[in-house]
Amino acid sequence: MSDPMQTPPTPQAQPAGLTENSTCGLAYLTFIPAVIFLATAPYNQSPKVRFHCWQSIFLFIAAIVVSLVLNLFSPIFGFYLIHFVLDPLVSLGFFLLWLLVMINAFQGKTFKVPFVSDLAAKQAGMTL
């Protein structure tokens, strides 16, 4: 028989927040979660999370800069046909790159994007 005054065992507390891999993957959704993770206490302590946040921000900036350059210079030089072919291909390339880095981040891997990874690692304070 069990003692009616005995209290049931308390369940163990689950750790609060996201896992490191989830945080790294979510940082790539847009630059907004990346900025939030860089400013939030438990997440900004991990060099891995900081790296993925910075890489996300730098990829976003690179996509904007490349798009602006294509949109500004193609009409000036009369490359309308090249613009209509090149702009969708570059956008598709950035989209596929974004998927690649996000999937790798969710799996706990680091995909090194040329130039961008070096800047991100420097900002995160880590070496690749």
pLDDT confidence bin for 13, thresholds 50/70/90: very low
Residue 98 backbone phi and psi in degrees, to 5: -60, -45
Region 2-17 average pLDDT:
53
Residue 38 backbone phi and psi in degrees, to 5: -70, -25
* pLDDT for 54 beyond 90: yes
Q: What is the pLDDT of residue 74?
A: 74
Q: In whole angstroms, how large is the CA radius of gyration of the chain? A: 22
* pLDDT for 58 beyond 90: yes
